[in-house]
Amino acid sequence: MVKGSSQKQGIDYHETFAPVIRYETVRTMLAVSAAKNFAMVQFDVSTAFLNSPLVEDDYMYQPDGCKTEGDFVCKLKRGMYGLKLSPRNWHNLMKEKLLELGFRQSLYDPCLFICTNSEGNTLYIGLYVDDGIIMQKDINHLHAVRSSIEDNFKITWTTDVKKFFGLEINNNNDCLQLLQEEGSRKKWRMRKWRRISKPHPGKGEWRISFASSSGQ
């Protein structure tokens, strides 16, 4: 981790924008997955920012515990957490690797990548910084793409997709449910809540407790 707050725009960096997948795209992908019975895999890239080379020269003071005698600084060769350019550099690197694997980038969402194999089966990848989700009906195609990505990055995988982009996902053989209970509780600071069968109880008043910023 470096102190990116000391970087100055126009000197240490210029463009820092890095896209993340759109909320509408995630919901569409999950709807398609449920309708077509796609296999779904989620992945996380370990220390993702450290994989991307730096576009501009960046230096940092020697970290505590690794100092050498003399007035020296460290020249960074790879992106680090804290640098303002790290998210953008990482996205560009991941995009480059996926395009090399035969993917095409969606014109609607720059974080949605699509690949169709020789048999006409289409695979979708959605990226949210260093997290991603893959959907495909052809298991062999999915495993081939997974292996190709692992050749470039250290990745952890799971087929039990429970949460992505703030959505809680409940997937079973009958249906796919999307929940946002945890996000709602955090947003509205709800200390106590209970389930009801319809949006409004119909009689009486709402019985929802909110916590103020002071915790009272």
Per-residue pLDDT tens for 118-138? 888 889 999 988 888 998 888
Is 85:79 a contact under the CB 8 Å cutoff?
A: yes
CATH class of the domain defined by 14-61+72-194: alpha beta
Q: Quick: pLDDT tens for 133-175.
A: 998 888 888 888 888 988 988 998 888 888 777 777 777 766 7
Instruction: DSSP letter for 58, please.
Output: -
Buried b / exposed e over 99-121, threshold 16 CB at 10 Å, is: eeeebeebeebbbbbebeeeeeb
Instruction: Residue 137: count other Cβ atoms within 10 Å of its Cβ.
Output: 14
Is 128:73 a contact under the CB 8 Å cutoff?
A: no
Average pLDDT over residues 16-43: 86
- Provide the pairing of β-strand 176-179 with 190-192: unpaired
